[in-house]
Amino acid sequence: MSLQIRIVERAEGTCVVELDGPLILTEIFQFQDLVRTIEAPRLILDLSGVPYMDSAGLGSVLGIYTSCQRHGRQFALANVAPRIVTLFQVAHVDAILARYDSVEAAEAQLDAKAASA
């Protein structure tokens, strides 16, 4: 099964990237190339369709997080499977990657942060 990527423009300034399939080494280049073209102030990765992520997938997510930080953009993850949360915990990155139970919850939190800034 290959990774399917869909970009959804939400409320002004928010872009949601919906992933469906494993985020693994053989799939990350397409993913990274596509995400690099997004310039929205808020980026949410919806991982509801991602059953598995390897270290290369984790590295690509961390690269996107770092890029967002460097460019003053907000970043969040939504719908992260327990198996992937475990990967984040083992890699000791769970505390830096903001995770929410839904895209709507992530969007509300990012909107609240933007309003208070």
Three-state secondary-structure class, residue 112: helix
Pairing of strands 14-20, 4-9: antiparallel
The H or E element that residue 4 is part of is strand 4-9
* Entry pTM: 0.93
pLDDT score for 10: 80
Task: Name which of 27-31, 45-49, 60-64 the model is least confident about.
Answer: 27-31
What domains are there in the chain, each with its CATH number? 4-116 (3.30.750.24)
Report the 10 Å Cβ neighbour count for 25: 13
| pLDDT tens track for 2-26 | 899 999 988 778 999 999 999 999 9
Tell me the one-letter amino acid at 31: F
pLDDT score for 117: 63
